[in-house]
Structure 1
Amino acid sequence: MPTLPSSTSSSLPSSAASPAPAAGNQPHQRRDIAESFGGDAERYDRARPRYPDALVARIVAASPGPEVLDVGCGTGIAARQFTAAGCGVLGVEPDARMAELARRLEPGVAVDVARFEEWEPGERQFDAVVAGTAWHWIDPVAGAAKAAAVLRPGGVLSVFWNVALLPADLAEAVADACERVMPDSPFDFRAALTRPATVPYRAILDKAADGIRTAGGFGGTEQWRYDWEFTYSRAAWLDVMPTQGAFTRLPAAALAEVLEAVGSAIDARGGSIAVPYATMAVTAKRT
């Protein structure tokens, strides 16, 4: 279970949004991928990294109270961190398999099984709405409007992502394996893996900020960034890869071929890999 060393943080200026993907191919419309992670929920919880404690503390400090709604809570990774920080957490998660594990790992966290856009909050209200590596699966305008509806005045909406910045040689090894195993894939693995990972995430952050502005009910958005690094053994990194959206639906034999190629690249580096991360957030306050 990766834990985080100390991190450095910064605030990022908002930038113009990048052109949106073609209609019908938005991430939140790809339910086949969005709800595929529960196929191995225990691996997901074991392998996926946690979020910087400084980010959690900053969100808690900015909130008017301790009640947190965790959107797309998955197995409860972020929910457990907010619980440890003294918050009461309710999760909303569309995959019942992920929700069941989240409840089992932290009995103090309740989880409603629903897509956030269709979730019925009743009279419940919250001091913070958060989403850890999940908001791209939510309609950015409908999701922000739902968040505004359930936040108390002064409440905080904060959506954030862990972005791995793979070393160039490992990125090339992954791209080579993906192109060999998935030659007909419409996804440009090489372009995605060999450019700085923060480039596509910049578009994701801008899209989230645009959705918040369009939905209304919030003040100006802020973008935050926390930089940190984690060293993985060969086995630990190969445990992470099957939890990533590009691989969750890959047949076992094809996945094994990709992992073998990446494992060989890690062996050539001495059996471990230091992976820099950037945790990137968009945050706004309910007016």
Structure 2
Amino acid sequence: MPTPTPEPTRSPAPGPRQLQPTARSFGAEADRYDRARPRYPDALVHRIATTTPGPEIPDILDVGSGTGIVARQFQAAGCRVLGVEVDARMAELARRSGVEAEVASFEEWDPAGRAFDAVVSAQAWHWVDAVAGAAKAAQVLRPGGRLALFWNVFQPSAAVTDAFAEVHDRVLPDTPNLWGKPALDSYAPQFAEATDGIRRAGDAFGEPEEWRYEWEHTYTRDEWLDLLPTHGRTAQLPPARLTELLTTTGAALDALGGDFAVHYTTVAITALRTPDAASRPASARP
């Protein structure tokens, strides 16, 4: 689920357990989150759904499922989906939209003997311990099943990026301004950490691959301002400061003509579960 500024990297930032308060903050804006966050490339969803080892209807586990955005895309692709979400408010909205969801952090979630053809995580794996998460995914994947961790990374034009950097310096001078470097560079440590976590899961997975999908989306001024409060750092701003950020950003977009295009790169880190018949887990459904 893409963010209006690149997510801060976790190294040497606090680990996932220390970041849980931020992960649990998104539920305060669950409806806005579900409305404003962009979806994921259908080609990526189709590729995952059609390369699983399971039956005609693949079983997908969605880690950090939020309001069910990508889960609904997998449902539309013909999959059964179970979400695991740390924020009860987000999980409740997902259930209202037809997505089964259980409330827990992934590291502490009880699979209760269930197994899956794919474990996916959209814009959420940076809240999970990369090594423990990969090991947990290996436990619940069928042999040959796929782990797919993916993020939407966006990059506006140079003019819009410069304007957002100026707004940030004016309104949030005490926080790191990530607009000064390419967004993919800001995300690179997350991709490396996810890859390293898979490799450190022992022989549970084959060698990780990286998939990339390029696409564009045009935002109106109001759509962008609707999206801004769903970002982790922005969501925790005091109301007065958030209002200032939205007002200043809106003025900057007005000066640029309102609508603007954003180039997205969706990056997936993915690996297949080692086909080990001796450790084959139980079926996912009774």
TM-score (norm 1): 0.88
- Matching residue within 123, 134, 156 for 2:146: 156
Paired residue for 1:214? 200
Contact kept? 1:163, 1:198, Cα under 8 Å: yes
Return the offset for 1:105: 1.2
Q: Secondary structure at the match of 1:219?
A: coil
Corresponding letter in the other structure for 2:42: D
Q: Secondary structure at the match of 2:266?
A: strand
Return the offset for 1:28: 5.5
**C-alpha distance in structure 1 between counterparts of 2:128 and 2:186, whole Å:** 17
Return the offset for 1:175: 2.7
Q: Does 1:195 align with 2:181?
A: yes
**C-alpha distance in structure 1 between counterparts of 2:117 and 2:158, whole Å:** 41
Paired residue for 1:256? 243
**C-alpha distance in structure 1 between counterparts of 2:144 and 2:170, whole Å:** 51
**C-alpha distance in structure 1 between counterparts of 2:239 and 2:207, whole Å:** 45
Corresponding letter in the other structure for 1:88: R
- Matching residue within 20, 31, 42 for 1:31: 20
- Cα displacement string for residues 74-131 of structure 1 (whole angstroms, at most 9, x for unaligned residues): 000000000000000000000000000000012xx21110000000101100000000
Paired residue for 2:280? none
**C-alpha distance in structure 2 between counterparts of 1:175 and 1:53, whole Å:** 31
Paired residue for 1:13? none
Return the offset for 1:27: 5.1
Paired residue for 2:117? 127
- Cα displacement string for residues 155-206 of structure 1 (whole angstroms, at most 9, x for unaligned residues): 0000000111122332233333333333333xx21xx112110002122111
- Matching residue within 40, 44, 53 for 1:64: 53
Contact kept? 1:166, 1:276, Cα under 8 Å: yes
**C-alpha distance in structure 1 between counterparts of 2:50 and 2:152, whole Å:** 21
Paired residue for 1:139? 129
Paired residue for 1:96? 88
Paired residue for 2:226? 239
Structure 1: segments with no counterpart, 5+ residues: 3-18
Instruction: Return structure 1 stretches of 4+ with deviation > 2 angstroms.
Output: 26-29, 166-185
**C-alpha distance in structure 1 between counterparts of 2:131 and 2:74, whole Å:** 25
Residues 1:199 and 1:147: Cα distance change in structure 2 (over 3 Å): same
**C-alpha distance in structure 1 between counterparts of 2:174 and 2:265, whole Å:** 31
Q: Does 1:46 align with 2:35?
A: yes
Q: Secondary structure at the match of 1:247?
A: helix
Structure 2: segments with no counterpart, 5+ residues: 3-8, 275-286
Q: How does 1:145-184 map to 2 (within 5 A)?
A: 145-184=135-174
Residues 1:166 and 1:28: Cα distance change in structure 2 (over 3 Å): farther
Paired residue for 1:9? none
**C-alpha distance in structure 2 between counterparts of 1:59 and 1:223, whole Å:** 13
Return the offset for 1:45: 0.4
Paired residue for 1:7? none
**C-alpha distance in structure 1 between counterparts of 2:17 and 2:207, whole Å:** 24
Root-mean-square deviation (CA, aligned residues, Å) is 1.6
- Cα displacement string for residues 214-249 of structure 1 (whole angstroms, at most 9, x for unaligned residues): 012000100011010000110001111110112011
**C-alpha distance in structure 2 between counterparts of 1:172 and 1:33, whole Å:** 27
Contact kept? 1:171, 1:193, Cα under 8 Å: yes
Q: Secondary structure at the match of 1:49?
A: coil
